[in-house]
Amino acid sequence: MDELIQEAARSILGSKLTIALTGAGISVESGIPDFRSRGGLWDRFDPDEYATINSFKRSPEKVWEMLREMEETIDAAETNEAHTGLAELERMGLLQTVITQNVDNLHQEAGSRDVIEYHGNSRSLTCLWCNNSYDYKEKKGEYPPRCECGKILKPDVIFFGEAIPFDAMTRSTQLASTCQVLLIIGTSAVVFPFNLLPRQAKQAGSKIIEINLEKTALTDHIIDIFLQGKASVKVSQLVSVVRELRGG
């Protein structure tokens, strides 16, 4: 495994543009369960009933049962060494952007400055009726949170059936098709259109490094370097080898 880490570190040092794609697996060690592993969120809440925009419009109170659990877990979560490692690579000028599917804000809390939130963020809420917007702190502890117009607020996360924010989609596609190295960490890569990004990067000739507990649908097809293990362990090993090869 050390040779793989060395090879990954050398690729990053030789790259003019490196980006990272992250999913729920990068925050599992921060105490936030992922979606599709055993015991994950979709084991307990059927996404067709709790995670589509139509299910939210049909029964917002019910969807807020799941959202409340997510919010309380996110509030209790701390960044882990995978988040802080990516922020350090950015500070070293070796990582341009993190494109995350996560809505937990942990990349930003770890110090990453260029973060594209592909599936929105749970730190603000919007009224679908009068378009009022609130910081989540204004409604903390209020379940379900209501707009001053009386309607139940929706967090600014992207539900199934909603469009990916235009700027996020445009910038992510542009970066994926021009990067030289792509790190993909803690995602099953099953959700469209996010899962097009690694394929776009491959088509553009980039080297793809995957960090995951187990193989994914990508591993045997487009991954050049597979670092199997916990995100916090692999990212911190990778960053320390990068630091060593770079001479501190």
Distances (CA, A) of 97 to 2, 15, 19, 161, 198: 26, 13, 5, 26, 14
24 near ligand APR, rule: CB under 6 A = yes
Q: Segment contacting ligand APR (CB under 6 A): 89-97, 127-135, 209-217, 236-244?
A: 209-217
Question: Which helix or strand (DSSP H or E) is residue 210 part of?
Answer: strand 207-212
Least Å from the CB of residue 94 to ligand APR: 21
Please give the residues from 87 up to 106 whose contact with ligand APR meets the rule CB under 6 A: 101
Q: Of 13 and 109, which has the nearer Cβ to ligand APR? A: 109
CB 110 within 8 A of CB 86: yes
Report if residue 78 touches ligand APR, rule: CB under 6 A.
Answer: no
Which residue, 101 or 200, has its beta carbon nearer to ligand APR? 101
Burial class (CB in 10 A: 0-12, 13-18, 19+), 46: exposed
Residue 55 interacts with ligand APR (CB under 6 A): yes or no: no
Least gap, CB of 51 to ligand APR (angstroms)? 6
Phi, psi of 30 (to 5 degrees): -95, 0
Q: How far is the CB of 240 from ligand APR (least distance, A)?
A: 17
Cβ 53 to ligand APR shortest distance, Å = 12
Dihedral of CA atoms 87, 232, 235, 230 in degrees, nearest 10, equals -150
Contact call for residue 81 and ligand APR (CB under 6 A): no
Q: Give the number of residues in contact with ligand APR, rule: CB under 6 A.
A: 24
Element spanning 20, H or E: strand 18-22
Residue among 83, 107, 119, 221 flagged as catalytic:
119
83 is catalytic: no
Out of 46, 48, 214, 244, name the contact with ligand APR by CB under 6 A.
214
Give Rg (Cα) of the chain: 18
Alpha helices in 106-161 (DSSP H): 106-109
Instruction: Give, in degrees to the nearest 5, the angle at Cα 78 between 73 and 79.
Output: 125
Question: Please, what is the minimum distance in Å from the beta carbon of residue 209 to ligand APR?
Answer: 13
What is the footprint of ligand APR within residues 113-132 (CB under 6 A)?
A: 119
Of residues 169-188, which lie at the interface with ligand APR (CB under 6 A)?
186-188
Which uninterrupted H or E stretch holds 173?
helix 166-176
| Packing angle of the helix pair 231-245, 81-91 (nearest 10 deg) | 30
Residue 27 within binding range of ligand APR, rule CB under 6 A: no
Residues carrying an active site annotation = 119
| Residues in contact with ligand APR by the rule CB under 6 A | 23-25, 28-29, 34-37, 40, 47, 101, 119, 186-188, 190-191, 212-214, 216, 230-231
